[in-house]
Amino acid sequence: MSDGGGGGPDACGIMANLWRLIQAVVDDSEPELEALGLSAKAFFLLEAVGEHPFPAVLARRMHLPPPTVTYLVKQLEERGFLVRQPEPGDLRKFRLVQTEAGREALRRGQEALSLALGKRLGRLRRGEVGAFDRMVGRLAGNGEAPEA
């Protein structure tokens, strides 16, 4: 790992490599996503709706401007991937719900992304793939730090 000048790891270099990996996987899967009628942003927004069904929350969680979320939601609705449902008890609010077509598009998009990432992971040895998965998950907050 390169030195960032302060004796520690080069945080910007690590982040740049992670960004390049993500971009390469998205670029490699883009033709399949486009064939489904999805941009990468629309795919990830459709996926996030399952956990965050309210547009304002989606905007915050995805670090997107609210008008961009509105635009993407309208696209996904037009393609039949999302529907709006009124929120019980608050007529001013609605929740987004994936349709069956949306769930199928997600499944096929996930396959395309998995294939693209799998090609990249093929550069690693078997044990390295599992270790990489665990480390990224832990760094992303999906697990406890190891005991010292």
Average pLDDT over residues 100-117: 97
What b/e sequence results for 63-102 when a residue is b if at least 16 CB atoms lie within 10 Å of its CB, and e otherwise?
A: ebeeeebeebbebbeebebbeeeeeeeeeeeebbebbeeb
Instruction: Please determine, for residue 116, whether its predicted confidence score (pLDDT) is greater than 50.
Output: yes
CATH number for position 112: 1.10.10.10
Tell me the pLDDT band of 1, cut-offs 50, 70 and 90: very low
With 0-12 CB in 10 A as exposed, 13-18 as middle and 19+ as buried, what is 113?
buried
Question: Is residue 81 domain-resident?
Answer: yes
Range of the domain at 55: 19-123
| CA–CA gap between residue 2 and residue 35 (Å, rounded) | 40
Q: Report d(CA 49, CA 77) in Å as an integer.
A: 12
Encode pLDDT of 17-55 as tens digits: 999 999 999 999 999 999 999 999 999 999 999 999 999
Q: Is residue 148 part of a domain?
A: no
Q: Please give the angle made by the CA atoms of 48, 69 and 88, to the nearest 5 degrees.
A: 70
Q: How many residues does the chain have?
A: 148
Number of domains observed in the structure of the chain: 1
| Coil, strand or helix at 19 | helix
- 112 in any annotated domain: yes
- Its pTM stands at 0.82
pLDDT of residue 123: 95
